[in-house]
């Protein structure tokens, strides 16, 4: 287990020479869906270059705006990306933040409904519509080894579900503050072994091998997700060859902060995970 550290203050300072943030629309099953897309400054300065992609899933009741703080980039996330890229801590990358939720003709978000259903099936939209649309519109590296998916809270469940049932196009996973809900919400606590069984069964049924994915799981000791996430991850650590500790050269890293359930702790988790996924 690793202990996270807080991001340095310079990561929170906007940079004039940073990347850009824009709205993106794509179609899925007859519906117009919206996402935000971060493009590194290198997309402007080196137009022939192609970039890896990170897709981030928001928490319950939130939206595609939540990680970035909207198109105006009101959160620390964009300045952090700009700084890490400029300092050579991570490779320049494209970041996409979609939403599970459907919209009415007035673009108002509807009620979440069955959160488990939304997250366990969202990998279909990601693989069938979002990834192809992003690859067609932006200079991505169209290869699973250059793609990562992560999420916070409900988005962490979507991340685990994508690994289980939709990992054919994505290599790296960052579940933050959430366990896998295939058996039940908080199944990591109440049905630990069965939850891990379902995850591995899904991975196996998708045709993946343990060499095909890497996971960086993170939460805080004061986080409401900690009681369910900790036993699940610790159990996964015993499930060789499907999961083995990163400290031993394996595919599962486990990071814990002193934090609570909020996006403000996601910046620390992202700052630790991204250099492992996409080093400069």
Pairing of strands 31-39, 94-97: antiparallel
12: pLDDT confidence band, cut at 50, 70 and 90?
A: very high
Between CA 126 and CA 147 the distance in angstroms is: 12
User: Confidence band (pLDDT; 50, 70, 90) for 101?
Assistant: confident
- Compute the average pLDDT of residues 70-76: 96
Mean pLDDT, rounded, for 235-253: 97
Q: State the average pLDDT over residues 182-191.
A: 92
Higher pLDDT, residue 12 or 112 = 12
Name the more confident of 102 and 52. Answer: 52
| Average pLDDT value for the chain | 94
- Residue 249 lies in domain: 2-277
Mean pLDDT (whole number) for 69-91: 97
Q: Is the pLDDT of residue 204 over 50?
A: yes
From first CA to last CA, the distance across the chain in angstroms is 24
Band of residue 97 on the pLDDT scale cut at 50, 70, 90 = very high
Domain count, the chain: 1
pLDDT of residue 222: 98
Residue 250: exposed, middle, or buried by beta-carbon count in 10 A (0-12, 13-18, 19+)?
Answer: middle
Q: What percent of the chain has pLDDT over 70?
A: 96
**What pLDDT, on a 0 to 100 scale, did the predictor assign at position 107?**
38
Q: What is the pLDDT of residue 211?
A: 97
- CATH number of the domain that residue 13 is part of: 3.40.50.1820
* Tokens matching residue 103: 């919209």
Q: What is the DSSP annotation of 245-261? A: BGGGT-SEEEEEES--S
**pLDDT number for residue 16:** 92
How confident is residue 103, by pLDDT bands cut at 50, 70 and 90?
Answer: low
Q: Which helix (H) or strand (E) holds 117?
A: helix 115-125
């Amino acid at each position: 287990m690793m202990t996270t550290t807080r991001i340095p203050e310079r990561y929170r300072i906007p940079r004039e020479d940073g990347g850009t943030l824009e709205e993106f629309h794509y179609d899925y099953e007859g519906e117009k869906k919206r996402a935000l897309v971060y493009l590194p400054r290198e997309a402007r300065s080196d137009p022939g270059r192609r970039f890896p992609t990170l897709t981030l899933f928001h928490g319950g009741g939130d939206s595609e705006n939540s990680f970035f703080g909207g198109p105006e980039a009101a959160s620390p996330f964009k300045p952090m990306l700009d700084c890490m890229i400029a300092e050579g801590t991570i490779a320049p990358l494209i970041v996409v933040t979609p939403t599970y939720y459907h919209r009415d003709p007035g673009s108002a978000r509807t009620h979440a409904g069955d959160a488990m259903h939304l997250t366990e099936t969202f990998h279909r939209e990601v693989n069938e519509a979002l990834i192809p649309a992003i690859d067609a519109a932006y200079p991505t590296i169209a290869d699973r080894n250059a793609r990562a998916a992560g999420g916070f809270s409900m988005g962490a469940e979507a991340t685990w579900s994508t690994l289980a049932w939709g990992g054919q196009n994505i290599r790296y996973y960052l579940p933050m503050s959430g366990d896998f809900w295939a058996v039940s919400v908080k199944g990591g606590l109440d049905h630990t072994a069965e939850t891990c069984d379902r995850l591995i069964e899904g991975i196996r049924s998708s045709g993946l091998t343990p060499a095909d994915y890497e996971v960086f799981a993170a939460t805080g000791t004061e986080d409401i997700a900690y009681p369910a996430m900790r036993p699940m991850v610790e159990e996964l650590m015993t499930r060789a060859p499907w999961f083995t500790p990163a400290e031993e050269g394996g595919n599962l890293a486990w990071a814990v902060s002193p934090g609570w359930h909020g996006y403000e702790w996601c910046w620390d988790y992202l700052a630790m995970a991204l250099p492992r996924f996409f080093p400069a």
